[in-house]
Amino acid sequence: ARRFYRLLKADDRIGMIVSKKGHTYEGAEIERVARWFNRWLGRSGPVMPWKEMDRSSIPSENECRVVKSGSIYGEGGPQPRTIFVAHLRSRAKTGPQKRARIAQLVEAVRPLKNARVRWEELDGYRVGALEGKRIIFSPERKLMLPAEILIPPKPRGVMILLDEVGRMTQLEWAIQAAHAGYVTVYPDLRWWGETSAAESWEDWENWVQNVYAGRRAQTFWAPQLVGRHLILDRVKDVVALLNVVKQMGFSEKPNVWGRRGGALVGLWAGIADRRIARVFLEDLPCSYLDIVKRDQPVGWMDHLFFGLLREGLDLPDLVRFMGAGKVKVKPPAVWPSLLSRNPP
């Protein structure tokens, strides 16, 4: 944290106390906190030592409240969500600016198209009449990702399945697509499934800590700290996988079916790689901006919600850019009238 403040030339705006006492405000900690508040509230003079403080005269919670209800948010004060939405309004983009930004983002994927991708078959198996293959592939140096492939007796196309949960939990979904005649490929993209951070949900408190401040949250923060775009990195994984499918001899135009976070990756992949014939979107809202405007606790999905919105874009912009005729939504009612609009 200190390094980030130093980069912003604001070293004096952060104070830190490191101790082994756990979550507490007493002793040396309370003295340092008091000095910090005195500094910024313009009060001079020494701070009374902890041992000399009369704890019996500490004011009650109600006496310390700034507003009567005890909640600035409840009194209509600014909060991170409303500040973020106001920031978006000040940086609104025109249609041509949006299209230019999308084209700029997907340009990073262009060098991967038709590139030779290293892959290896690890195992073979059968699921009834379907032939199964387990492979690993390498979208970039020092990165290996797993994928399962189901091949029907008479393939009529290729279907890439994308979901943020592990691929081994999706066998029924994959069999459904394979029985429909598709060579079905379902990978673990980076930080999904086998490549994801281990999670611990012993109770609800641990679940909340994990989602908002634990390993799952770090999945979204870490790429930003090293200058990476997590969604586009996953799009690169999809493009590399398309190259592997082609190298395996399946030349039919591929389709992508994405669920949840996988739907956003699939939509970006459809824009970035025109080899993709259609994209099916499942469990994806019609607008991230609409969700952020509502009073809901959305905190950890930075690259899914706030990351896209910071670019001045929303999901309808991506659908229009790809071409609404190539996008199928499950269920269609989630996107009222959108699919009838003409692409830009």
Output the tens digit of pLDDT for each of the chain's 344 residues: 788 788 888 888 888 888 787 776 778 888 888 888 888 888 888 888 888 887 777 777 788 788 888 888 778 788 777 887 888 887 778 888 888 888 888 888 888 888 899 999 999 999 999 999 999 999 998 899 999 999 999 998 999 999 987 777 778 889 989 999 999 999 999 888 887 766 656 666 666 666 666 666 677 777 777 778 888 899 999 999 999 999 999 988 899 999 888 998 999 999 999 899 999 998 888 888 877 777 655 444 555 667 778 888 888 899 988 888 899 887 643 333 333 333 33
What type of residue is 329? V
Strand order across the beta sheet in which 118-127 lies: 118-127, 130-140, 143-151, 182-187, 157-163, 254-259, 278-282, 327-330
Q: Are strands 182-187 and 143-151 parallel, antiparallel or unpaired?
A: antiparallel
Q: Name the residue with tokens 């959305």.
A: 298
Q: Are strands 130-140 and 118-127 parallel, antiparallel or unpaired?
A: antiparallel
Q: Closest Cα to residue 147, out of 178, 188, 182, 184?
A: 188
Query: The whole model's pTM is what?
Result: 0.75
